[in-house]
C-alpha cells in the first residue's frame, strides 16, 4: 500500500487495464479546485450581466433616463421648502352637509403653529371645544359639491384658518387635513 493517497491503484470501474498510463491524464487536486472556482466565477458573472441587462431594459421601457438622471423635471414649486410647524390634531369631526339630500362629512384637522410656541399650543387646548364647534357649524353650512371639489381645498383651509384665528388671541399658521371625506349616506 502506498503512503501517497493521490497515487492509488484502486480500480473503481472493476475492469482491468493493460497499461498503467494508457492515454489517460490524471488531474491533480489543485487543478480541479481551480476549475471549480473558474466555473462558479463564470456563473456569478453571467448572473450579474443578466440582472444588469434586465434593469437597463426595464428602465428604458418605463421611460427612465438611466442611473443618476432626474426622472421628473424640477419646477420652482418643488424647490421652495415649506415652513416647519408644530401641529395639534383635533378629534375626527363628523356631521352632515347643508344639501337637501344630506351627505356626511368626516374630517380630521391639524392646526399648525410656530415650532416651540407653547402659549399657542396651550390656547388651542383650552379653546378646543370652541374651535371644534365653529368648525362643525362651518362644515354643516356647506354643500357636498363644494366640499368634494379638490380645487376648493386651499380655500377651505384658508377659511378655517381665519375662523380659528377669530377665536384665538394668538394666531395659528395653517390648517391641514389628514382625513377629508364626503360620503353619500
pLDDT of 80:
66
Residue that has been written with the C-alpha cell 364626503 in this structure: 182
* Residue numbers in the chain where pLDDT is lower than 70: 1-30, 64-80
Are 160 and 143 in a shared domain? yes
CATH number of the domain enclosing 112: 3.30.479.30
41 within some domain: yes
pLDDT of 34:
85
Are 50 and 134 in a shared domain? no
Are 109 and 175 in a shared domain? yes
10 within some domain: no
Range of the domain at 52: 27-80
Rg, C-alpha atoms of the chain:
38
pLDDT of 22:
53
Instruction: Enter the pTM of the model.
Output: 0.56
Are 73 and 116 in a shared domain? no
- Number of domain units in the chain: 2
pLDDT of 148:
92
Joined grid coordinates for residue 129: 371645544
18 within some domain: no
pLDDT of 33:
84
Are 91 and 126 in a shared domain? yes
Which helix (H) or strand (E) element contains residue 155?
helix 153-167
17 within some domain: no
Are 67 and 119 in a shared domain? no
Amino acid at each position: 500500500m502506498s503512503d501517497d493517497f493521490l497515487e492509488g491503484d484502486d480500480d473503481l470501474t472493476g475492469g482491468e487495464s493493460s497499461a498503467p498510463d494508457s492515454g489517460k491524464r490524471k488531474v491533480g487536486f489543485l487543478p480541479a479546485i481551480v476549475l471549480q472556482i473558474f466555473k462558479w466565477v463564470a456563473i456569478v458573472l453571467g448572473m450579474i450581466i443578466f440582472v444588469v441587462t434586465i434593469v437597463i431594459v426595464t428602465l428604458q421601457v418605463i421611460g427612465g433616463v438611466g442611473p443618476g438622471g432626474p426622472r421628473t423635471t424640477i419646477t420652482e414649486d418643488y424647490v421652495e421648502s415649506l415652513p416647519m410647524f408644530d401641529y395639534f390634531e383635533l378629534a375626527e369631526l363628523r356631521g352632515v352637509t347643508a344639501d337637501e339630500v344630506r351627505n356626511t362629512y368626516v374630517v380630521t384637522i391639524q392646526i399648525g403653529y410656530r415650532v416651540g410656541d407653547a402659549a399657542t399650543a396651550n390656547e388651542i387646548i383650552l379653546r378646543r371645544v370652541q374651535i371644534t364647534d365653529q368648525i362643525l357649524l362651518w362644515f354643516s353650512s356647506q354643500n357636498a359639491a363644494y366640499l368634494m371639489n379638490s380645487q376648493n381645498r386651499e380655500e377651505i383651509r384658508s377659511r378655517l384658518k381665519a375662523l380659528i384665528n377669530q377665536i384665538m388671541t394668538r394666531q395659528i399658521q395653517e390648517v391641514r387635513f389628514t382625513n377629508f371625506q364626503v360620503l353619500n349616506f
